[in-house]
Amino acid sequence: MPNSDQQVSLGQHMRISQTQILVLALAMAAVSSSTSAQDGNAPDFKVELNINGCQFSGGTDGYGNVEVMQKTGGKKIQVELLYGDDMVFEPTTFTGPGSDQIRETAGGNANVLNIFNANTGPADVYYQINLRNKQTGETLKCDPRIVNQ
C-alpha cells in the first residue's frame, strides 16, 4: 500500500498527495451532510404568535402572513408560540383555495408548530392556529394567511 507521501498526478500541472485527497474527500462529505441536514430541518419562514391578542410577527410581511411564488418548491413555516406556557397546540385548520397543499408536519416542540406548504400551484389559504389552555380548557383561535402567487 502506498504511503501518504506519494503523489498522484491530476493533469500536467497539478500534483496532490493521497493524504490531501483523503482530507479533501472527508471535508466535502462533512459539508454535504451538514447542508442536507440543515435543509431538511431549517424553516423557510419563521412566524411568532404572541397569545396576548393573537398578534403574529414574522412571515414575509411581518404580520405572520407568508407569500411565495407558486411552484418554487415546498416551503416550511415554523410558528413559535410566545407567552403561551399554559397553552398547547390543537390541530391547525386550513381553509381557502389551495388548502390541500398545506399541512402540519412533525418536528416541533411544545411551543413550536411546523407547517409545510407543498407549493404545487396557486393558493390563498388561511391557517387558523388553534390553542387550548392546559389549565382551563379555554380555546384560542388565530389566523393569518399563506399565499402562493
pLDDT in tens, the chain (149 residues): 545 455 545 455 556 565 555 444 444 444 333 333 334 568 999 999 999 989 999 999 999 999 999 999 999 999 999 998 899 999 999 999 999 999 998 666 788 999 999 999 999 999 999 999 999 999 999 988 888 88
Amino acid of residue 70: Q
- Greatest CA span in the chain, whole angstroms? 77
Q: What is the value of pTM for the model shown? A: 0.70
**3-state DSSP call for residue 72?**
coil
Scanning the chain, the segments in alpha helix (DSSP H) are 18-41
> What Å distances lie between residue 115 and 32, 74, 85, 145, CA to CA?
26, 11, 20, 12
pLDDT in the model for residue 123: 97
User: Three cell numbers at 71?
Assistant: 411552484
> Which residues lie across from 129 on neighbouring strands?
142
CB 82 within 8 A of CB 48: yes
> What Å distances lie between residue 117 and 36, 55, 84, CA to CA?
19, 22, 25
**3-state DSSP call for residue 11?**
coil
**In this structure, is the dihedral angle defined by the CA atoms of residues 87, 89, 95 and 99, taken in order, positive or negative?**
positive
